Amino acid sequence: MQSLTNISLKTIVKKQVKWEAKLNISALSSLVIVQIIFGVLTSSSGSASSGHGHGNLDVRFSIYSLDTFLIVSAIWAFIVALLFTTKAYRVDDLSVISSRTSSTIANIFVMIMYSFIAVIIMISTYYLQVLGILLVEKKSFVTEGLFISPSTFILCFSSICLFGALGLLFGTSFKGPVVIKIFLSTFMVFSFIYIFMTPNIIPLMMLPNLMISVLCLLVATLCFCLTIWIANKSEVSRK
């Protein structure tokens, strides 16, 4: 009898990551476009602005920060992750050596890679915006720090990663067994309500950047593990 092929999960995941990252590169170009659009839209007022007037004196402050870019990137990560779990992507995976587990792990790695690139895109667009305002509008700037600190970079990365992880979990849970669908959707709805409706979120936001990053990465890891577990239990539906 023909000898059987022995391939490890690691080898398959590596190959899948290579091809998926290459094939879905358009997701990153869409982020560049969206970031530029938001950069242009917020170029006059920044992410926050306030004005004071007294007699003939009128002072207007505009704060230019990464906030808007981070929100856009987080939403982008959630949507891209959701897209990775759609039928079209899942069926494509079946055309090569893969299992639900290998495909999910590959998606997670691609999401992590894309989150990292998204932070670079985000920061680049931010610098471009500031440069554009400096050159075109010739406004006076008060810079807090010329370079983005590593802790801010990690915070942005972990936040985007978290939203990507939530997208993957949300998308995968709807392909899993019915019990998981009901349990996870209830859990997610209540979590969102708890996070946004209770005042406990404010002290959480006051934590140092690094602390928030660790929290985000922990929740993201939990979501990734849950996603793999659900995918492992899911059947393939191609109808």
Partner 1 sequence: MNIIQCVELSKSFGRRQALQRVTCAIDAEKIIGIIGLNGAGKSTLLNIFAGYLKPTTGSCKVFNENPFNNIQTAANMIFIDDQLSFSEYLSLEDILKMGADFYPNWQNELAYRMLDYAGIDLTAKHQQLSKGQLATFNLVYGLVSRCALTILDEPMNGMDEVIRTDFYRAILKEYLAFPRTFLITSHHLQEMESILEEILLIDEGSVIAHAPLDEFKEQLISLSGPSDELADLLSETEVYAQKIVAGMTSAVVGASKLFVSEEILRTKGIKVSTLTASEVCMYLTNKKGRDIDAIFD
Binding test (CB under 8 A) with partner 1, winner from 40, 48, 97, 131: 97
Type and span of the H or E element at 59: strand 57-63
Binding test (CB under 8 A) with partner 1, winner from 37, 63, 96, 218: 96
Q: Are 170 and 102 in contact (CB under 8 A)?
A: no
Which range, of 17-25, 35-43, 113-121, 206-214, touches partner 1 by CB under 8 A?
Answer: 17-25
Binding test (CB under 8 A) with partner 1, winner from 41, 48, 63, 91: 91
Give the 3-state secondary structure of residue 63: strand
Residue closer to partner 1 by CB (options 222, 236) is 236
Give the 3-state secondary structure of residue 9: helix
Nearest C-alpha neighbor of 104 from the set 144, 32, 164? 164
- Considering only residues 213 to 232 of the shown chain, the ones binding partner 1 according to CB under 8 A are 232
Q: Are 72 and 38 in contact (CB under 8 A)?
A: yes
26 binds partner 1 (CB under 8 A): yes
Type and span of the H or E element at 50: strand 48-54
- By CB under 8 A, how many residues form the interface with partner 1? 30
Q: How far is the CB of 10 from partner 1 (least distance, A)?
A: 10
**Hey, how many other C-beta atoms are within 10 angstroms of the C-beta on 211?**
13
Query: Whole-angstrom Cα distance, residue 163 to residue 66?
Result: 17
21 binds partner 1 (CB under 8 A): no
Q: Which residues have C-beta within 8 Å of that of residue 59, sequence separation ≥ 6?
A: 51, 52, 53
Q: How far is the CB of 16 from partner 1 (least distance, A)?
A: 9
Residue closer to partner 1 by CB (options 90, 216) is 90
Query: Whole-angstrom Cα distance, residue 162 to residue 110?
Result: 14
44 binds partner 1 (CB under 8 A): no
Binding test (CB under 8 A) with partner 1, winner from 43, 92, 151, 221: 92
Token pair for residue 121?
């895109």
Q: How far is the CB of 41 from partner 1 (least distance, A)?
A: 30
178 binds partner 1 (CB under 8 A): no
- The binding site for partner 1 (CB under 8 A) comprises 1-2, 4-9, 12, 15, 18-19, 23, 26, 88, 91-92, 94-102, 232, 235-236, 238
